[in-house]
Structure 1
Amino acid sequence: MNNPHPLPDPYPDPQRWIILFSVCLAGLIMPINFTGPAVSLPAIATSLGGSVVALSWVTNAFMLTFGCSLMIAGALADRFGRKRVFISGLAVLTLSSLVMLMVQDIIAFDLIRALQGVAAAAAFAGGTAGLAQVFDGTERAKAFSLLGTTFGIGLAFGPLLAGFLVQHFDWRAIFISVSLFSAIALFAGIRYMHESRDPAAAKLDWPGAATFTLALTLLTYAVLQAPDSGWSNPEVIALFSGALLFMIAFVVIENRVRRPMLDLSLFRYPRFVGVQFLAAAPAYSYVVLLVLLPLRFIGIEGYGTLEAGIVMFALSAPMLILPLLAGMLAHRFSAGIISSLGLLICAFGLLWLAQYAPGQPFLLLILPLLTIGCGISLPWGLMDGLAVSVVPKDRAGMATGIFSTVRVAGEGIALAVVGALLAALVEQHLPGSPLANAAAGAHRLAMGDLQQAAALLNVDTAALKQSYEAAFQGLLYILALTTAISAGIVFIFLRHASPSPIVPSQTTNAQSLAERSTE
C-alpha cells in the first residue's frame, strides 16, 4: 500500500547534482595530486634539495598513505559519519596544500605529502560513501560513471596542467590549484551534503590497520634505501625483517579478530586471486611510467615541463574513452579475456617504447604511449566490477576493500621496487671500471638528476646518457615481460569471469567502495 504522505526527498534537484559536483571535484584532485608532483620533481629537487631517497618519497609517501588509509577511512565514515570524514579530508587537503607554499626542506615536504595521502583517502572514501546515499538505481550508476570519468580527466590532464604551471609559474602553483579545488569541493559539501552513518558499523580493527601500515611502510623504505646503502646493508636487512614480522603479525591478527579489516579467507576463491593479480598489473605496466617518464623527459632529455606534460597526455588520454568501450564489450565477451588482451596490448606498447632512445623527437613517442594507454584502459574499466562478481554476494563489500588496498598500496610499492630496479640497471651499465660512489651516482641518474650524477661519478654526461638509455630499455623489457605474464595469469583465472552489470567503472573503484559502505 502506498504511503499517502511520502517523506520529502532529502536531496532534491539541483542539490544532489551539487553534491555530485563536490565529490567529482574531490575525485579530480586525487590524480592531479599524484601526477603533478611527479612532473615537477626536478623543479622540487632544485628548490628543496634532499637525498635521492627523500625525493623518492615525494610520490611514494602520498601513494603509500593513500592506499593504507582507504579501508580505515571507509570504516570511519560508516561509524562516525560520511559527511564528517569527507569534509575533514578536504579541509586537511586544503590547508596542507597551502602549507606547501612555505616548506623549506624536503623532509617537511615528504611528511606533508604523507598527510595529504591520508586526507585524500578520507575525502575519497567519505565522498563516495556519501554519494551512494544521494542516488539510487540507474542514477547511481550514472553518477559513479561520471566520477570515474572525472578521475580519468585528472589522470590525462594532470601532467599537462602541472607542466604548464611549473613552466610559467613555479612548482608551488600546483599546490595552489589543489588547495583551490579542495576548497570549492569543501564548501559545496558543507553546504549541501547531509550527514549519514551506518548504525550497525563495527569498531575499527586498529591492530590490523597498524600492523598492515607498518609492514608496507618498512617494506617501501627498505626498497628505497637499498640502492644507496646496498641490499646487504644491516639497516636494509633490518627494515625488510621488520616488514616481514609486521606482515606475519597482521595475518595472525586478521585470522583471530571477529570482524577483520581484511578477510583473508576470500583468497580461497581462485577467481578472487586472479582479480588481485589484475589489480596489481597497472602498477608496474602504467602507474610507474607516470613517475619515471617525466624524470626521463625533463632530467635526461632536457624537455621543458610543459613539453613533458604534452607527451604524458598521450599515455593517459585513452582513459577518457576506452574504459566505457570495455564495459560495452563485456556484454559480449568475457571480462577476463578483454582484460588479458588489454594487458598484452600494454606489453606490446612497452616493447615499442623500449626502441626509442633518449633524444628522439618526442612526437615519435606518442604512438607507443597511446598503445600502452589503450591497453591498460581495457582492464581498468572492468576491474571494479570483477572484484565484486568473483565472490559470493554477501562477501562483496570485503572483497572490494581488499581489492582497493591491493590496487593502491601495490602502486606505492611498485614505484619503490621499479625505481630501485632502474638504479641497479644503471649501475650495471656505468662506463669503465668500478667507480667510486657508483651506487649513489646511479640512483641520482635513475631519478633524472644528470648533472649531480656526473659530479658524483666524474663521468661526462654523454656517457651517462648512454648508460641510462641501456638501463631504461632493459627496464621496459622487464616490465613488458611481467605484464605479459600477468596477462596469462589473468586469462587462466578469469577467462570465464564477467563484471557485475551495475558497475560501469572507468578509472576508479569509487562505486565499489561506496557499496561497501552501504552494506
Structure 2
Amino acid sequence: MSSPPDGSVQTHYDNPRRWWALGALAMASLVLGFDTTILNVALPTLAADLGATTTEQQWIIDSFLIVFAATMLPAGMLGDRYGRRRLLVIGLMALLAGSLFGTLVDSAEMLIVARTVMGLGAALVAPLALSVVPTLFGPADRPKAIAVLAAALAAGLPLGPLLGGWLLDNFWWGSVFLINVPMAAIGIVACLLLVPESKDLAAPKVDALSTVLSVGGLASLVFGIIEGSSRGWDDLLVIGFLVGSVILLTALVLRERRQALPMFDLALLRNPGFAWNAVSTIMATLILTGLLFVVPQYLQAVRGESAMGTGVRLMPMMGGLLVAARACNLLVKAIGSRTTIVIGLLFLSLAGFIGSTTDVDSSYALAATWLTITGLGTGLTTIPAMDAALAHLPPGRSGVGSGLLMTGRQVGSAIGVALLGSVLSQVYQDNVSTDGLPGAAAEVVGESVVAAHLVAAEVGGTAGAGLAESANVAFMDAMSATLLFCAIGALVIALLVAWLMPSQPPGQEGTADTPDGDGAEDARREDTTGGASESSLTPADSRPTE
C-alpha cells in the first residue's frame, strides 16, 4: 500500500491481487455492455410473447437507458463518500435482482420495471468500476488497466446481439435476462474478495436538492431527445421536457457554484484536459451506439440475416476494438494520447464515409470493412481519452470525475440512438414509395423497413416484391445519410481536439497532473482538510471492512 506525495489518498499499487480485481471489474463492465444491446434482437419475440406494443418495446429499451444516464452522477459521489466497493456490490445486486425479476414477469409493463431496476444498478457499477482503477494502478500500469476495462465495456455492445440471438434460437425469451444472474453473482463475490475498499472522507455530503435537480434534469433531457425522434421536435410534450431540463440543469449549476465543496464538481468541465478527453469519448460512444441501432436493421431487413447471423456479422467491430485495445498503450507512449485520439476519430470518420457507399447490392465484405474500422476507431479514441481524463482529476475526486465521464458517455448513447434514429427515419420516410397503398398500410410502411417487409409479404406478388425493393432502397439511402452524419461529426471533433486539447510529451501520458485553475483550487482545498481520505484493503482471510 502506498500514498501520493500529499498523503490525501491511499493507493494499492503494490497489491498482488490488483490484476485479479481488475478482472472482477471487467466482468461487471461486460454485463453492462450486454444489457445495453442484448434486447435489440429480442424485441420481435417480446412483442409476440408479451403482446408488447411499439411504444412498450421502445420503453423496454429506454427505461434502462434513462435511469442509467440520470443517476450516474450521484452514484459516483456516493461511492466516493460511502465506499466504492460497497456501492459497486450494491449495484451488481440490483442488476442481479432486476435480471432475475425480468425472467419471471408476464407483461411488458413489469418488464419495464425490471429494466428500470437494472438501469439503477448499471448507474452504480459503471462509474465506480472506473473510479477504483486509479487506486489500484499507478501511472505505468493505469493505461493497460483502463484498456482492459474499456474493452470489456465496449466488447459487450456487439456481443449482446450475438449472445441474444443464440439464446433466442435455443431457449425462451427470458434467457436474455437470465444470463446476467450468474455473471452478476460471480462479480459480487469477486469484488468482495478481491477489490479493496476505498473512500474519500472529505467528499461532500449528499445534497438532496442537487441530486433531485441532476436526476430530474438529465432524465428530462434524455426523455425529450428520445421522444423527439418519434413524436417530432415540435411536439408540446417534447418541448416541455427539453425546456424543463434546461431549467433544472441551470438551477443545478447555479446551486453548485455557491457550494464550498460541491457535490457535482462542474468546475472539472472547465479544465480543457478533462473536457476534451470527455468530448472525444462521448463522440465515439455516440457513433458506436447509434450504429448498433442502425446496422442490425440493415443486416436483418435488407440482407435477410437471422438474429444469430446478425450478431455474428457484428463481430468485425469487436475485432477492431480488440486490436485497438492492444495497440493503444504502445501508440500513446510513442506519439502521445492526443495524437492517438485524433487518429481514432479520423478512423471513425473514414468508416462513416466508406459505409455511406453501401447499397442494396453491396457484399457483406464492404460492411465488414467499415465495421472493423469503426471498432478500431472507437478503441483508439475511448481508451486513451478515458485514461487521460482520469489523469486530469484532482486527488480524491475520481468518483465524481468518473461519474461525470460515464454520464457523458451514457447521455451520448441516448443522443446517438435518438439523433441517428431520427435522421434514419426521416430520410427513409421521404424516399420510400407507398403509391397504391391504402392510408393505414402506407402509414405502417413509413414506420420502418421491417414493417414494410411485413406489409409486402401480405400484399404478395409483383406488387409486394416492388414494395420490398422500394423499402430496401429507401433504407439504404437513409443509412448512407446517417453514416455521412457520423463521418462529418467525427471529423469536426478530430479537428477541434487537435487544435484545442492540451498535450503531454510521449512517455508522460497517464500521469495524474493536478489541473490548473479551478481543478488546482479543488486540490488545494482538499489538502486543507488534513488528508481525510482513506482506503482500506481487506485481507484475504478477514471479513470485509464495514
Tell me if TM exceeds 0.5.
yes
Tell me which residue corresponds to 2:4: none
Return the match for 1:426 from 423, 428, 435: 428
For residues 303 and 370 of structure 2, what CA distance do their matches in structure 1 show? 18
Tell me which residue corresponds to 1:105: 107
1:389-428 alignment runs, 5 A limit: 389=391, 398-428=400-430
Asked whether the 8 Å contact 1:269–1:391 carries over to 2, the reply is no
SS of match in other structure, 1:501: coil
Is 1:484 the counterpart of 2:486? The answer is: no
For residues 394 and 185 of structure 1, what CA distance do their matches in structure 2 show? 25
What is the CA deviation profile of residues 25-74 of structure 1, one whole-angstrom value per residue up to 9, with x for unaligned ones? 21221111112122333333443343444323333332332233333222
C-alpha deviation, 1:490, in angstroms: 1.4
Moved more, 309-318 or 98-107: 98-107
Is 1:444 the counterpart of 2:447? The answer is: yes
Structure 2 counterpart of 1:97, one-letter code: S
Tell me which residue corresponds to 2:521: none
Which TM-score applies when normalising by structure 2?
0.80
Asked whether the 8 Å contact 2:166–2:308 carries over to 1, the reply is yes
Return the match for 1:296 from 295, 298, 304: 298
C-alpha deviation, 1:169, in angstroms: 2.3
Asked whether the 8 Å contact 1:284–1:411 carries over to 2, the reply is yes
Asked whether the 8 Å contact 2:338–2:503 carries over to 1, the reply is yes
Asked whether the 8 Å contact 2:167–2:176 carries over to 1, the reply is yes
Moved more, 141-150 or 50-59: 141-150
For residues 17 and 389 of structure 1, what CA distance do their matches in structure 2 show? 20
Tell me which residue corresponds to 2:25: 23
For residues 454 and 130 of structure 1, what CA distance do their matches in structure 2 show? 53
Asked whether the 8 Å contact 1:207–1:253 carries over to 2, the reply is no
What is the CA deviation profile of residues 111-150 of structure 1, one whole-angstrom value per residue up to 9, with x for unaligned ones? 3222212102323444555666666676776655544443
SS of match in other structure, 1:164: helix
For residues 359 and 105 of structure 1, what CA distance do their matches in structure 2 show? 40
Asked whether the 8 Å contact 2:34–2:160 carries over to 1, the reply is yes
For residues 17 and 400 of structure 2, what CA distance do their matches in structure 1 show? 31
For residues 198 and 14 of structure 2, what CA distance do their matches in structure 1 show? 16
Give aligned pairs, total.
500
Return the match for 2:475 from 449, 462, 468: 468
Asked whether the 8 Å contact 1:23–1:131 carries over to 2, the reply is no
Asked whether the 8 Å contact 2:278–2:385 carries over to 1, the reply is no
C-alpha deviation, 1:346, in angstroms: 1.3
For residues 20 and 130 of structure 2, what CA distance do their matches in structure 1 show? 14
Structure 2 counterpart of 1:104, one-letter code: D
Tell me which residue corresponds to 1:167: 169
Tell me which residue corresponds to 1:510: none
Seen in structure 2, the aligned counterparts of structure 1 residues 220 and 195 have a Cα distance that, compared at 3 Å, is closer
For residues 149 and 225 of structure 2, what CA distance do their matches in structure 1 show? 34
1:134-213 alignment runs, 5 A limit: 145-190=147-192, 195-213=197-215
C-alpha deviation, 1:382, in angstroms: 0.8
Asked whether the 8 Å contact 2:76–2:399 carries over to 1, the reply is no
Q: Percent identity?
A: 24
For residues 165 and 393 of structure 2, what CA distance do their matches in structure 1 show? 43
Asked whether the 8 Å contact 2:25–2:129 carries over to 1, the reply is yes
Structure 2 runs not aligned, ≥5 long? 1-10, 513-525, 527-532, 536-546
What is the CA deviation profile of residues 289-345 of structure 1, one whole-angstrom value per residue up to 9, with x for unaligned ones? 122212332244321111111111111222112133222122232422222222122
Tell me which residue corresponds to 1:508: none
1:25-40 alignment runs, 5 A limit: 25-40=27-42
C-alpha deviation, 1:182, in angstroms: 0.9
Seen in structure 2, the aligned counterparts of structure 1 residues 392 and 230 have a Cα distance that, compared at 3 Å, is closer
Return the match for 1:264 from 260, 263, 266: 266
Return the match for 1:82 from 72, 81, 84: 84
C-alpha deviation, 1:19, in angstroms: 4.2
C-alpha deviation, 1:105, in angstroms: 3.1
For residues 271 and 236 of structure 1, what CA distance do their matches in structure 2 show? 34
Asked whether the 8 Å contact 1:75–1:201 carries over to 2, the reply is yes
Is 1:120 the counterpart of 2:128? The answer is: no
Is 1:237 the counterpart of 2:230? The answer is: no
For residues 473 and 79 of structure 1, what CA distance do their matches in structure 2 show? 47
Moved more, 135-144 or 265-274: 135-144
Return the match for 1:343 from 317, 342, 345: 345
C-alpha deviation, 1:12, in angstroms: 11
C-alpha deviation, 1:370, in angstroms: 0.8
Asked whether the 8 Å contact 1:386–1:497 carries over to 2, the reply is no
Structure 2 counterpart of 1:39, one-letter code: V
C-alpha deviation, 1:435, in angstroms: 8.3
Tell me which residue corresponds to 1:496: 503
Q: Over aligned residue pairs, what C-alpha RMSD do you find?
A: 3.7
Is 1:373 the counterpart of 2:375? The answer is: yes
Asked whether the 8 Å contact 2:127–2:402 carries over to 1, the reply is no
Seen in structure 2, the aligned counterparts of structure 1 residues 282 and 64 have a Cα distance that, compared at 3 Å, is farther
Asked whether the 8 Å contact 1:354–1:477 carries over to 2, the reply is yes
Structure 2 counterpart of 1:367, one-letter code: T
For residues 309 and 403 of structure 2, what CA distance do their matches in structure 1 show? 38
For residues 503 and 110 of structure 1, what CA distance do their matches in structure 2 show? 43
For residues 352 and 379 of structure 2, what CA distance do their matches in structure 1 show? 14
Moved more, 52-61 or 364-373: 52-61
Asked whether the 8 Å contact 1:227–1:443 carries over to 2, the reply is no
Seen in structure 2, the aligned counterparts of structure 1 residues 335 and 10 have a Cα distance that, compared at 3 Å, is closer
Asked whether the 8 Å contact 2:69–2:219 carries over to 1, the reply is no
SS of match in other structure, 2:335: coil
Asked whether the 8 Å contact 2:60–2:115 carries over to 1, the reply is yes
